[in-house]
Structure 1
Amino acid sequence: MEVKVMPVKNNKDNTVKKNDSEIEQIENNLGQFIEKEYGIRPAEDACDEPDNQTISDNDTKDIQKQEKRKRRKSNREIVIAAYICMMIIVAMIVYLGKFIAADNTEMLSNPYNKLQGVLEKYTKRGDILSADGKVLATTVTDSNGNEIREYPYGKMYAHSVGFVGKGKTGIESTYNIYMLNSSINPVYEAITELKGEKNPGDDVVTTLDSKLQKVAYDALGSYKGAVLVMNPDNGEIRAMVSKPDYNPNTIAVDWNKIVNEDDEESALLNRATQGLYPPGSTFKLITMLEYIRENNNYEDFSFQCKGDADIEGVKVNCHNKKSHGKLDINMALAKSCNGAFAKMGTSLDIESYNNTCSQLLFGKELPYTGQYSKSIFDLPTDANAGLITQTSFGQGNTMISPLHAGIIVSAIANGGYIVTPHLVSHVQGGDNMTVRSFSYSKGEQVMTDREVKALRKAMGDVVNSGTAYALSASNYKVYGKTGSAEYDSSGESHAWFVGYARKNKEKLVVSIIVEGAGTGSEYAVPIAKKIFDSY
Structure 2
Amino acid sequence: MNGPIIGITYLVAFLVIGLIAYILHFMIVEKDEVIANAANTRLDSYAADVNRGDIVTKDGKTVATNKNGKRYYPYDNLFAHAVGYSDYTKAGVELVGNYYLMDSHANLLERAVNTLREEQNEGDTVVTTLNYELQQTAYDALGGADGAVVMMEPDTGRILAMVSKPDFDPNDIDTVWQEANAEGSTSSVLLNRATQGLYPPGSTFKVLTALTYMRQYPRKYEKYSYNCSQTEAIFNSVSVHCYGRKTHGQQDLSEALANSCNQAFADIGTQLNVNKWKDTLESFLFNQSLPYMDASATSRFTLDGKSDKGYIPQTAFGQGDTLITPLHNAMIVSTIANGGLMMKPYLIDSVENYKGKRVKKFSPSSYDTLMTSDEVDTLTGYMRKVVTQGTAADYFAGASYEAAGKTGTAEYANGEHDFSWFIGFTSVDHPEVAVSIVVEESDVNGVKATAIARKLFDTYYSISE
TM range (shorter): over 0.9
Measured after TM superposition, the shift of residue 312 of structure 1 is 3.6
- Hey, what does 2:59 align to over in structure 1? 132
Q: Cα offset for 1:436?
A: 2.2
Paired residue secondary structure (2:433): strand
Provide the residue aligned with 2:228 in structure 1: 305
TM-score by length of 2: 0.93
The answer (yes or no) to whether the contact 1:495–1:520 under 8 Å persists in 2 is no
Which residue of 459, 462, 474 maps to 2:386? 462
User: Which 5+ residue runs of structure 1 have no aligned equivalent?
Assistant: 1-72
Q: Which residue of 1 aligns with 2:442?
A: 517
CA distance in 2, matches of 1:360, 1:480: 18
Q: 2:305 aligns with which of 372, 378, 381?
A: 381
| Residues matched between the structures, number | 457
Say if 1:472 and 1:478, in contact at 8 Å, map to a contact too. no
Deviation at 1:408, TM superposition (A): 0.5
Question: Does the aligned pair in 1 maintain the 2:404–2:426 contact within 8 Å?
Answer: yes
Q: Would the aligned equivalents of 1:338 and 1:393 in 2 still touch at CA under 8 Å?
A: yes
Separation in structure 2 between the aligned mates of residue 506 and residue 330 of structure 1, nearest angstrom? 20
SS of the aligned residue for 2:421 comes to strand
What's the CA shift string for 1:421-446, capped at 9, x where partnerless? 01011211234222222233222111
Q: Which position in structure 2 is the counterpart of 1:428?
A: 352
| CA apart distance, 1:81 | 3.2
CA deviation profile, 1:217-272 (whole Å, cap 9, x unmatched): 11100000000000000100000000001111111133222334977640000000
Instruction: Answer yes or no: is 1:240 the counterpart of 2:162.
Output: yes
Deviation at 1:171, TM superposition (A): 1.2
Distance 1:462 1:107, change over 3 A: same
Conservation of the 8 A alpha-carbon contact between 2:142 and 2:447:
no
Counterpart of 1:491?
416
| Residues 452/335 of structure 1: CA separation in 2 closer, same or farther (3 Å cut) | same
For residue 77 of structure 2, give the secondary structure of its aligned residue in structure 1: helix
Instruction: Return closer, same or farther for 1:288/1:121 CA change in 2, 3 Å cut-off.
Output: same
2-structure distance, mates of 1:446, 1:520: 37
Partner of 1:480: 405
Residues 415-467 of structure 1, C-alpha deviations (whole Å, 9 max, x = no match): 11121001011211234222222233222111111111111111001000111
Q: Does 1:534 align with 2:456?
A: no
- Structure 2 residue matching 1:511: 3-state secondary structure: strand
Q: Structure 1 CA distance, aligned partners of 2:179 and 2:187?
A: 11
Give the structure 2 partner of residue 118 of structure 1. 45
Q: In the alignment, is the contact (CA less than 8 A) between 1:496 and 1:519 conserved in 2? A: no
- Structure 2 unaligned spans of 5+: 461-465
Structure 2 residue 13 is the aligned partner of structure 1 residue 86: yes
Match of 1:343 among 267, 270, 273: 267
- Secondary structure, aligned partner of 1:100: helix
Q: Residue 3 of structure 1 aligns with which residue?
A: none
Question: Which of 389, 393, 398 is matched with 2:317 structurally?
Answer: 393
Return the alpha-carbon distance in structure 1 between the equivalents of residues 83 and 421 of structure 2.
Answer: 25
Opposite residue 294 of structure 1, the aligned amino acid is Q
TM-score, scaled to structure 1: 0.81
1:110 shift after superposition: 6.0
What RMSD over aligned residues (CA atoms) do the two structures have, in Å? 2.1
Post-superposition Cα deviations, 1:304-354, rounded to whole Å, max 9, x if no partner, equal 112322224332101121111111110000100011001110001111101
Selected match of 2:366 from 434, 439, 442: 442
* Cα distance in 2 between the residues matched to 1:156 and 1:445: 34
Deviation at 1:409, TM superposition (A): 0.4
**Alpha-carbon distance between aligned partners in 1 of 2:185 and 2:437, rounded to the nearest angstrom:** 20
Query: Aligned partners of 1:265, 1:114: CA distance in 2, in Å?
Result: 26
Deviates more, 1:111-120 or 1:406-415: 111-120
Q: Is the 8 A contact 1:494 1:519 kept in 2?
A: no
Match of 2:463 in 1: none
Q: Distance in 1 between matches of 2:447 and 2:104?
A: 50
308-317 or 355-364, which deviates more: 308-317
* Contact 1:482–1:521 under 8 Å retained in 2: no
Q: Which moved more, 1:92-101 or 1:487-496?
A: 92-101
Q: Shift in Å at residue 80 of structure 1?
A: 3.3
Report if the CA contact (8 A) 1:244-1:265 is conserved.
no
AA at the equivalent of 2:59: D
SS of alignment partner, residue 155 of structure 1: coil
Q: Distance in 2 between matches of 1:267 and 1:114?
A: 24
* Secondary structure, aligned partner of 1:399: coil
Residue deviations 1:134-158, cap 9 Å, x none? 1111123x2xxxx211111111111
Q: Using the TM superposition, give the Cα deviation of residue 515 of structure 1 relative to its aligned residue in structure 2, in angstroms.
A: 0.4
User: Is the partner of 1:481 in helix, strand or coil?
Assistant: strand
Maintained 8 Å contact 2:337/2:431: no
2:25 is aligned with 1:95? no
Kept in 1, the 8 Å contact 2:179–2:187? The answer is no
For 1:293, which of 191, 197, 215 is the aligned residue? Answer: 215
Deviations 1:50-86 (A, max 9, x none): xxxxxxxxxxxxxxxxxxxxxxx62x54543333222
2:427 pairs, out of 487, 502, 507, with 502
Give, as a single letter, the amino acid of the residue that structure 2 aligns with 1:502: S
Q: How big is the shift at 1:115?
A: 4.0
Q: What whole-Å deviation, never above 9, does each CA across 1:99-145 have from its counterpart, x for those lacking one?
A: 224544455346775643431111111111111111111123x2xxx
Does the aligned pair in 2 maintain the 1:496–1:520 contact within 8 Å? no
Over 3 Å counting, the alpha-carbon distance change for 1:210 and 1:487 in structure 2 is same
Distance 1:444-1:492 versus aligned 2 partners, 3 A rule: same
Cα distance in 2 for residues equivalent to 1:265 and 1:517: 20
Match of 2:81, SS state, is: helix
Q: Is the 8 A contact 1:415 1:449 kept in 2?
A: yes
Give the alignment of 1:266-277 within 5 angstroms. Answer: 266-277=188-199
Find the aligned partners of 1:298 and 1:107 in 2 and give their Cα distance. Answer: 47
Q: 1:451 matched to which residue of 2?
A: 375
- Quote the residue 1:315 is aligned against: 239
The question of 1:192 aligning with 2:93 is answered no
Identify the structure with the greater helix proportion: 1
Distance of 1:281 and 1:196 partners within structure 2: 60
Q: Deviations over 1:166-220 (max 9, x none)?
A: 2211111122111111111111111222233211111111100111111111110
Displacement of 1:519 after TM fit? 10
Task: Name the CA distance, whole Å, in 1 between partners of 2:424 and 2:185.
Answer: 29
% identical aligned pairs: 41
Q: 1:279 aligns with which of 189, 192, 201?
A: 201
2:242 is aligned with what amino acid? C
> Are 1:326 and 2:250 counterparts?
yes
Structure 1 position 354 matched with structure 2 position 278? yes
CA distance in 1, matches of 2:237, 2:340: 36
**Matching residue of 1:210:** 132
